[in-house]
Amino acid sequence: MTIPDLSLEAGLPASVDGERTILGSILLDNQAFIEAAEYLAPDDFSLDSHRRIFLRMSELMDSQHAVDIVTLSNELARSKEIEAVGGVAYIASLTEGLPRRPVIEEYIRIVKDKSLLRKLMGICSMAIARAADQGESATQIGVALAGQVQAALTAGTPSTLQRVGDYLKIEFPTPESMIDKTAKSQGLETGFRKFDSMTCGAQKGDLIIIAARPSQGKTSLAMNIAEHMAVNCESRVVINSLEMSKEALMRRAICSRGRVPFQDHRSGEMAYHVRMVEDFREAYEEISRSQIFIDDTPKTAVQIATQWRSKKEKENFDIGIIDFLTLLQHDDEPRRQRNETQLVGHDCLILKVLAKELGIPIILLCQLSRELMKRTDKRPMLSDLRESGRIEEYADVVSFIHRESYYDPKNEALKNQAEWIIAKQRNGPIGTIDLHWEPEYLRFSDPIDPKDLQNEFSMF
């Protein structure tokens, strides 16, 4: 459903004189176009004739041609629009009564404000029509309404261009101040030493992809990170689980933390082992005291963004985790209009913008395509990402989990080996990190370094 085209004839907010002044000013001084184009688009003009004129002005400027009465009239005639805008006489009349170099800043503000009022009225009209139709839930309509209002409010925002010297003078008045801030700006610890060394931790504003084939340990790794951040570092972690329930995640997290075999817990065998029960109880207390927040209800990327913005305002948090990308919900209408690539790209873009807006890292779990199953070497590559182009484009870090034992289960030597492959990092190195996998606990950890063992024994 498209936003209704509310015309001037309907008595809607408009400033026709302001529009004429802007267009006439551009004809007198083409520099005025640069100022106007920074804030205005053709559809910000209320009259169809003014929209057509501004669009043709844009095309002339883009092709590095001067914009005057002659060139503009010629361009409109070539597009067979000259009569629709009132002819050459109307174009010439736009400059009447204007000074040679008029100041149009206030006119731009007025025209933009009137345009926004019209758009808001159109958005609300659409929402009313959808609500009256009763074909969607109130939540779906409300989320769509919020997204459209936000998009309308942020369109045509003022330029944030700033001379670097002015920026540095405010933010980093000396080289030492920049060095000092860099030393203090390490990201959140994940609990995995080499990953933290390569990435400087999970950085604010980063979209971090952890991808793998099913049963490789995506959720386990994400929960290991969440548990470490929340319990060891006292960070606040928000998790949207689209695959597992809260109960399932918490059972896994507590068993992993307490190193209680998950199968013994599931089967009830744990109850017969005093030590297991004690370990489980201790881990339960640690997890229950932590600041982990979980939502296991199906949501769209927009709904998650709305929820996290509200949570961030009321109760600050440090990192968000989503499990996983292709389980994100979509409204029926957008799904009909977009293919899978567009849906994935749209969701990744929303989450990347959200990470930057909230100033938090977002870990997004993804599924890999079946194509790698056809290869002898099953180690994932960037091309194995489903709809890989869009994910790779928006992500700051793309990483893969690989366990060779999954493909060769009879080889006992491979049982505890795992690899965390950093295939893309926007601001750092790529490479493979060796991990220790404990399947009975659903837990990844750093492999034991012989030097650490030697140091440990040297204490005795």
Residues serving a catalytic function are 243
Return the half-sphere exposure (C-beta side, CA atoms, 13 A cut-off) of residue 86. Answer: 14
Helix-helix angle 69-78:48-62, to 10 degrees:
110
Distances (CA, A) of 104 to 26, 33, 115, 303: 10, 10, 16, 39
Other CB atoms within a 10 A radius of the CB of residue 245 amount to 11
Neighbour tally for 203: CB within 10 Å? 20
Query: Which of 48, 54, 19 is closest to 33 using CA atoms?
Result: 54
103 secondary structure, DSSP code: -
Whether omega for the bond prior to residue 324 falls within 30 degrees of 0, making it cis, is yes
Burial letters for 82-118: b for 16+ Cβ neighbours within 10 Å, e otherwise? beebeebeebeebbeebeeebebeebbebbbebbbeb
Helix ranges (H only) for 259-384 are 262-267, 274-289, 301-314, 332-337, 340-358
Name the maximum alpha-carbon separation found in the chain. Answer: 98
* b/e burial code for range 126-161 (CB count within 10 A of at least 16 → b): bbeebeeeeeeeeebbebbbbbbeeebeeebeeeee
Q: Where do runs of H (alpha helix) occur along 200-267?
A: 218-227, 246-258, 262-267
d(Cα 139, Cα 141) in Å, to the nearest integer?
A: 5
User: What are the two backbone dihedrals, phi and then psi, of residue 68, each rounded to the nearest 5 degrees?
Assistant: -145, -175
Q: Six-digit token pair at 194? A: 């080499």
**Residue 97 exposure: Cα atoms within 13 Å on the Cβ side:** 6
Integer Cα distance of 421 and 329 in angstroms: 28
If phi > 0 it is left, if psi is from -120 to 50 it is alpha, else beta; for residue 387 that is left
What number of H helices and E strands is found in the chain? 19, 9
Question: What CA–CA distances, in Å, run from 225 to 221, 238, 380, 416?
Answer: 6, 12, 21, 18
Tell me how many degrees the CA angle 264-267-269 measures, rounded to the nearest 5.
Answer: 55
* Distance in angstroms (rounded) separating the CA atoms of residues 259 and 97: 82
